[in-house]
Amino acid sequence: MVAISSAIEADPLSRDILVFLLENQNAMDSAKGIAAWWIHSDELAVQSSLNRLFACGAISAHTLSSRTTIYGLTQDAEVRAQLRSALGNSCRPIESIARVAK
């Protein structure tokens, strides 16, 4: 978790990506799509953040047959909980909102 916390503190883009993913837990996209649609930032900077987050285990990466890599939130429930804790009130997971509404 230290590596993830360091990535969040050192890189605002990493934080923005994680907040988006925790709010949209099934979302997956390429670096280009994330840069253009999720956080409106430079693709090269986004790719650097994605590499850092992948190395920390915060996100997963899947390479499609087209050789495009798409990224999404890790499926590891423990890491997701740690991310929510590290990000504090920056995000509200959709699954929690759905449970409260029932």
Amino acid, single-letter form, for residue 36:
A
User: What CATH number is given to the structural domain containing 87?
Assistant: 1.10.10.10
> How confident is the model over 87-98, as a mean pLDDT?
51
Q: What is the pLDDT of residue 99?
A: 35
SS3 content of the chain, % helix, strand, coil (to 5): 65, 10, 25
Give the structural domain span for 14.
2-101
Q: Give dist(CA 63, CA 71) in Å, integer.
A: 9
Which pair of structure tokens corresponds to residue 77? 């429930």
* Number of structural domains the chain divides into: 1
Question: What does pLDDT average to over the chain?
Answer: 85
Instruction: Give the residue among 92, 7, 10, 91 at the shortest CA–CA distance from 57.
Output: 7
Least confident of 1-15, 41-55, 63-77: 1-15
Q: Distance of CA 14 to CAs 48, 64, 92, Å? A: 9, 23, 17
Output the pTM of the full model.
0.81
Partner residues linked to 71 by β-bridges? 29, 61
> How confident is the model over 51-63, as a mean pLDDT?
95
